[in-house]
Each structure stands twice: as C-alpha cells, then as structure tokens.
Chains A and B, each alone.
Chain A
Amino acid sequence: MRNLRFAFILSVIAMFGCTEPKTATSIQSGIIYCSESSPSSFNPQLDTSSTTVDASAHQLYDRLLEIDPATGKPIPGLASSWRVSRDGLTYSFQLRPNITFHTTDYFVPTRTLNVDDVIFSFKRWTDPNHPYHSVNGGRYPYFDSLNLRENIIQIAEVNHLRFTIRLKQPDASFITHLATDFSVILSAEYADTLLQLGEPERIDHFPVGTGPYKLAYYRKNQYIRYTPHPLYWNERAHDGPLIFDITPQSSLRLAKLMTGECDSIAYPSQAEITYVEGRDDIALEQATGLNVGFWAFNTSKAPFDNALVREALASAIDKTTIIDAVYFDSATRSRSLIPPTSWAFSVDTPETEYNPVRARELLAQAGYRNGFSMTLWALPVVRSYNPDALRMAELIRGYLAEVGIAVEIVTSEWDSFRAGLDRGEHDSVLIGWSADNGDPDNFYRPLLSCDGIQSGTNRAMFCNAQYDTIIQQALLTTNIEQRKALYFQANLLIAEQIPLIPIAHANRYKVFRNHLRGVVINPYGGMRFGEMYKAASEGAQ
C-alpha cells in the first residue's frame, strides 16, 4: 500500500514536471472554467454527480451515441450507425475506424478503438465477476438505479468494429441510456496494462479515453489541467489547454469571471445572474432544465415511515414563498418529479396545500401532538436544481417551528455529506436531481424505486411494490399515451404517499465572458468544452 501511494505521488510529480511544447496561439486560446467542486474520480460510470460528469464525460471520453441538444434525439458518436431488431431485443452497432486513445505520461496506446474496448466498458458494470467490477467501489449508480444490468443478456463481437447487444425484454429508453454522460468508452488495453501492474484502481484517477482532451494534472481542491488530444477524431474548436479552477464559493467564481480569471463559471446564483445581465463583457445563456429540486423524507426511519407525518410536513410549508426566496423567478413550481417540458407531464397531478392548521391536526392524529425534533440535511453545494439549500433549510425550519417541530440543519463537506446520506443517517434532506436523458423513466426510477436505494439516488429510501410495478410497465411499451397514463398513476401514488415534496424545476444558465464562443446549453448532460473557443480579439488574461 505504502509503495503504491509512493508510486502514485511520483507519477503526480512526474506529470507536473512534464510540459508540452506550445505554440503562440495555444496559450492564448486556453479556456479556464471555474468549477464548483472536486470530482471524486474521472469516470462518470462511478458517479452521477455533475461535478464528476463535467470534469470527465465530454472532456475525456466519447460515447457510442450522442444526444442532439436541439432535438433530444440520439445521433452517431463512436458508433457510426446502429440498428434495432424488429422485436426490440437486439441492437447492432458499427464503430468508426481509426479512433485513437490518449497518449499520456502514464500510458501509451498501441492500437486504435475496437470492440474490445466497448465490451470492457460494458462488462465492467454488467458483469459482477469482471476483474474491474469491484475496482474503486464497484457501484455504478446510474446503471444500478435503472437496473440495466439485469436486462442485458449478452454483448457479442461480430468483427473488431461491429457488435450486438441482446436484451431480455424491450426497453423503450435503452438507446438513450447509451447516449448519456455515463456510458463512456474506456480503453481495454490500458485496463489490461494496469491489471498486470497490479494497480487497477488507477484507471479512474489517471484516465485514458478518446475525448477531445486528456488529463495533464489534477490537484484536489485546486485545479484540473487538460491538454488537447492531438489525434481527436472529431472536431475540436480550439487547441489550447483547458483548465478547471476549482472554486467552491459561488461569489468568488463570479468575481473571477469579472476580473477575467475565468472564461466561464459553474452555477451562478440567481442574484448574480441579475447582476451579470447588466454587464457588457459577460454573456448569459439560459434554458429550461431537466431537473427537480425536492425535500425527501427518510421513509425508513420513524416517524417518517408514517404517511400522516409526511403529509403534515408537506402542509406545514409554503412552497410559493420558498420558491420566491430561493429561486427568485428562475424556476417553475413542481407538481411532480418531471418538469412541464417533458411529454409525460400532466397538469392534473394533485398537490398538498399550505395549511399549518391541518399540519397540526395530522401530527396529532399520528400521535405527535407535542411535535418532535428532526434533522434537515441541506445540500452543501450549489446545484442548478437548488441554488441555496441552506437558505431553503432555514425557511423550512421557520415553518416547522410553527407547527411545533424543532429542526436541526445539518450540512458538511460534499463527499461526507453524500456518504452520510448513503448510510441513511438523515431524517430528511434537501437535494434534487438533474436528468441524464430526456426519458421520464430517468426521473421516476432512480429517485423512488427500490433499486434506487442501493445505488444512492433514492434519498427518500422509499420502496413501494406498487410504484415499482407501474414504473416497470411504463418501459415495456413504446406507445407514448400508454406510458403517459402510467406515469400519471405514479404521480398520484407520490401525491398520496409523499415520500418527497417536489419543489421546483430550475432554469439552467451558462455565464461566460463574451469572447467565448460555442457555448451551448445541453439540457441532457454536462459541459462540452471541445466545442468552445475564444474569439481572437481578446487574448489570455
């Protein structure tokens, strides 16, 4: 272990010491992005948090398919074409030839992309006996929460650039899963090399992919430096370095944007957006987000296992005031899990009204006439679905105090916060979900299905057989009207059980200096820097 750490350190030092020769244009065209937190690894298979996704998915890797941000439809990625069999059970893919992996200080590839790499990338999460399955945790939250593993029977090589995937039962959303940020293609050759060296865990921290950038240096809580991948198969808009300046404080990010120390920043707060609108050196893009911010109750714990208590809590808070105070006018009030832009949305979903008197009655009915005390975990980082969880928590504390419930607000560093949630230590939590693809299943399944508990996405710890059945049925058909009816049933069940209170769907914003071009808000996933470049007029700061 000690030796391993030492090797790790040496390689970090080696990486730091190595610089590539640069031309005059490259340093000027470098992009600095002020990100909000440190990624836990450089593999989005292992972590659905947008921090990890932004730092890896579209920068270091490619997927078989991509989603067109404009239409939401899948388009070719590493796979140049694909076909689905008539019974909806067999998918066949053709890979592009001559796609090169990154050459880095820690790995030199000897071959281009082939089916082995795809099979490795899939087997890692589908096959529990795969040597890499349990490396770095062995949890694949996105795939686990959807239980995709169960549905894939076989991945078979046809020739070195062609393969097929067989499913157990039809899945209307399967193709979108392959295009999400998490379905990245890793290098099988690199994995084998690491296995021989006895250091498989390096695969997620010293990544090798096919994406527009490769990792040059990462210093936790400080910055990530990427250099361009010179043999990138697709177009990349600029040839300078890409830097993530990790700046957890939102106000500091804005300040750095104003002084030109960042070209773009993550998660500007609403007040900051209003401020930025008045400046002519900073540009703003916005779009409706595929996300939901909610207040989830730990339904595995007393007294939150009692639906009466949950209803009481739901009627004790005034959602309208909370939304006004936290999101200002940059969000839509939620009725259910999915935003109004989704085809599965229905306006008829019932909602619990704000009624403190009723809340007290319900509490009395449940046997808590004198109230109780509870913890409220507030998301410690800014997320698009909740720009200020602490403020929201303080408001909720105020409302609950009026019905005799004492609230202790809990918040801690992001990694330990999530670890605590995974262990189910919370009574309730203010958190949310940004969808990874446009399919409603991507909201309903991870957030409230029984499988979501294991994968750490179901923070309500809610497990209801009836709900799971409805969600399952909705996948078996491709008929939109049928699916919509099923999701409406799920909405009714959520409104009755209240495992969580959906609060708002926030708009998504991108704020950047106006010399940065090619900024596109991708509602279906993380940042893509390969498409951005700086206009020539303004140089590096």
Chain B
Amino acid sequence: MANKLYNDEQYPSPWGATWREFKQSHIALTGFIILNVFILLGILGPLMTPYEPYAQNFQSILLSPSWENNGTIAHVLGTDAVGRDMLSRILYGIQVTFGASVLLVLGAMVIGVTLGTLAGMNKGVRSSVLNHILDVLMAIPTLLIAIIIVAILGVGLSNAMLAIGLALIPRFVHATRDVVRTEMNKNYIATARLDGASHWHIFYFNILPNLIEHIIVQATLALSIAILDISALGFLNLGAQTLLPELGVMVREGLSTAYIAPWNVLFPGMCIFLLVLSVNIVGDSLRSAIRNRLTH
C-alpha cells in the first residue's frame, strides 16, 4: 500500500534505478555475464560433459591440454592421473562447488535475516551484552569452526557447508539488524504504526523493500567467501571427499602430479578464481550502483 504511492512511472523502482547504474559499467556487465555463464554451466554443465566425471580411462592418463603437442582434441583440457577428463570434471565441479555455495548462502541468509529482523524490531534483545559476546565469538575463523564440526560429525561436503553456513550467519544478522534498526527509527514507520499496521505488515511493506538490496549485496559477499571456503576445505580434505569432483578436491588431487601435469592444478584453481572474481565484480558493482543511486 505504502509503496504503491511511489511506484510512479517517472520514478523507477529502486531496482530499476540500481540496474541502470549497474549496466553503465562495462566491467560490471562483463562480470555479470561471466557469472551468468557459470550459473548456466552449474545447472546445465552435467548435460554437456563429453565424458562421465568418474570415468577412468587408463589408455589416456595425464594427457596434456589439446593445444599442447601431446594433447588430443578428445580431451580439451587434458586428463588426470587416472585418465578422467578434466573438462567434464570441471563442469561437474562448478555444479558441486558453486551449487553447494549458493545453497549454503541461501540457508545462512534465511536464518540470518530472520534473526536480524527479530533483533532489529525487538528493542529488548539488541542492547544486551550477550549480543556483543555473540559477535565476538563469531570472530572465530571459519577453518576452526570447520575443524570442530569435522571432529564431531566427520568429513563431508554437507558438514563443510554447515560449518561455513554457521560462520556466515552473523554477517546477515548484522546487516539486517542495522538496516531494520535504522528504518524503524524513521518517521514513516511511526506513521504506519499510528495507522495501526501490525509488525508483520510493517516488515513486509516498509522494511523488506529497503532490506532486499542490502541483503543481496551481503549475499554476493557471502557467496564469494563461501566458494573460497568450500574449495579450501575440499583442498584440505576436510570437506568434499575424493570421489566428488569438487574444485578444491581436484586441486588437491592434481597436486600429486603437479610437476608432471601442472594443468591438473591450474585449471580447477583457475575456475575457482574466475568464479570468485565474477561474484566479486557483480557484488562490488552492485554496491557502487546502490551508492550512486542513493547519492544522485
């Protein structure tokens, strides 16, 4: 009801304005396109792989990428120590690493935003020292949380996701709480309240529209952290296990032949790098776009 009032044709929606700012930067657009390619690969990749990611082929072990002298076009990015096709594994790896990261960020977001909204809307919770202590405890490094979770529950991709998710929740709580708190102090909320709007009504119609952008920015930040951490835990053998084609696991496996077949380390790592880079570019550009929109 309240937002209808501003939804006029002369005034583009906050989203529209942000998008207009966003697409003015070439770098931002490139990052956005690359990210979309990754998303597409993550979803459709397994349908396009030339080989099964687990298919071992002992006739073609440690083949170089196709552009090198002893490479073949059959294995564009070469093969690993048990003859698995690098390209197929990377395509699956994108699904595993990127998919797991997106899932865990979504999970952390839902929990974090809920907690943050509650904390922001209820004045009782926010002033307590408890809040601050929780913040301090959340300064504990992700890797340490992961080690503890692995010690209790054992290794596995889902446990790694749990650990990273736990470490990410406070970011969402903070961001949400701050936005909700600032908005709650504004006059239009007081007006709405005087009109007799319920808590839920205020949240849905007044706060949420303002919140969404901040949450999306937080989510892109969290996503890049999640990708880096998931692959790092896979690399350290504390996350996804050997059989799963996770990009960090692939780097670890490539290590055993790193001096003979460096592409086994280079390609999966490069893929993580590009993935994180595109997420970072989109996140950063989004932040600038929002900032520009607000200052204009």
Contact = CB atoms under 8 A, between A and B. Distances in A.
A325 B58 contact: yes
B200 interface: no
B58 A321 contact: yes
Contacts of B247: none
B259 interface: yes
A249 B82 contact: no
- Interface of B (DSSP majority class): loop
B37 to A, nearest CB: 32
Nearest to B83: A325
A272 B61 contact: no
Interface stretch (B9-17, B66-74, B140-148, B250-258): B250-258
A199 interface: no
A398 B81 CA distance: 16
Nearest to A276: B259
Contacts of B255: 249, 251
A255 B56 contact: no
B56 A271 contact: no
Contact of B256 (A251, A395, A398): A251
B58 A324 contact: yes
A270 to B, nearest CB: 11
A332 to B, nearest CB: 19
A391 B81 contact: yes
Contacts of A325: 58, 61, 82
A258 B56 contact: no
9 contacts: A249-B256, A250-B256, A251-B256, A251-B257, A269-B256, A271-B260, A325-B61, A394-B82, A398-B56
Nearest to A254: B259
Contacts of B61: 325
Interface in A451-468: none
Interface of B: 56, 58, 61-62, 81-82, 255-260
A250 B257 CA distance: 9
Nearest to B254: A251
Nearest to A258: B259
A350 to B, nearest CB: 26
**Shortest beta-carbon contacts, A-B, top 7:** A325-B58, A251-B256, A275-B260, A271-B260, A251-B255, A251-B258, A391-B82
Interface in A393-446: 394-395, 398
Nearest to A255: B259
Contacts of B56: 394-395, 398
A271 B62 contact: yes
Given A251-B257, A394-B82, 5 more contacts: A249-B255, A251-B256, A271-B62, A274-B260, A275-B259
A391 B62 CA distance: 14
Interface string A245-267: 00001110011001000000000
B81 A271 contact: yes
Residue from A274, A325, A398 with most neighbouring chain B CB atoms (10 Å) = A325
Contact of B257 (A271, A324, A394, A398): A271
A85 B81 CA distance: 57
A321 B56 CA distance: 12
Contacts of B257: 251, 271
B58 A251 contact: no
B285 to A, nearest CB: 39
Contacts of B259: 251, 254-255, 258, 272, 275
B259 to A, nearest CB: 6
Nearest to B255: A251
Nearest to A390: B242
A251 B252 CA distance: 11
Contacts of B81: 271, 391
A204 B110 CA distance: 58
A272 B82 contact: no
B221 to A, nearest CB: 34
A258 B56 CA distance: 30
A251 B258 CA distance: 7
A512 B186 CA distance: 74
Contacts of B82: 325, 391, 394
B127 to A, nearest CB: 48
B264 to A, nearest CB: 11
A193 B294 CA distance: 83
Nearest to A322: B58
Contacts of A271: 62, 81, 257, 260
A238 B258 CA distance: 34
A259 B160 CA distance: 34
